[in-house]
Amino acid sequence: MRQIKAQKLTVEAFAPYGSFCNITDPQGFHMGDFYRDQVVMHVSGEHNMAFSPMIMHKTDHMLVQKVEYHNSTCEGIVSMDDDIVIHVAPASPDPVPQLTEAFLVPKGTMVRLNLGTWHCGGYALHQPQAHVLVVLPERIYKNDCTVVEYDEKDWMEIVL
């Protein structure tokens, strides 16, 4: 039987076969805690899917101060190493903070947000940080991402 030696995963060695990134220790260009488009995958049609690490932090107060939505795509979110708390509100032409709900998402559980769902980041529940994988079309955060900062009167705190 022929034997092959397993080798270290490096960009150079793996380039003929694909690409990769470390979700729990992201490197490279980032926008705050969002490491955009680290692995891009062509699926069909005109758009590529992008896999982007994001770090969610545990905080003393889980405050919702802003939201975002995407008109043309759903969004996938999966926490790799801690349970997380996310907040969502139904799709609507204008923000609807009064309809916001929060959910506990167990680590390893993938969540798909529908088109237009208001959301923004989330919070680690037990560890100081949760390493999260976000799945969106490549560059959607530049091409289709509406962000709204709430007036202070509309801020809310998520409680367990």
SS (H, E, C) the chain: CCCCCCCCCCHHHHCCCCCCCCCCCCCCCCECCECCCCEEEEEECCEEEEEEEEEEECCCCEEECEEEECCCCCEEEEECCCCEEEEEECCCCCCCHHHCEEEEECCCCEEEECCCCEECCCEECCCCEEEEEEEEECCHHHHCCEEEECCHHHCEEECC
pLDDT score at 44: 74
pLDDT digits (tens), the chain, 160 positions: 878 787 787 889 878 877 778 888 888 889 889 998 888 877 777 789 999 999 999 999 999 999 999 999 989 999 999 999 999 999 999 999 999 999 999 998 889 898 899 999 999 999 999 999 999 999 998 999 999 999 999 999 999 9
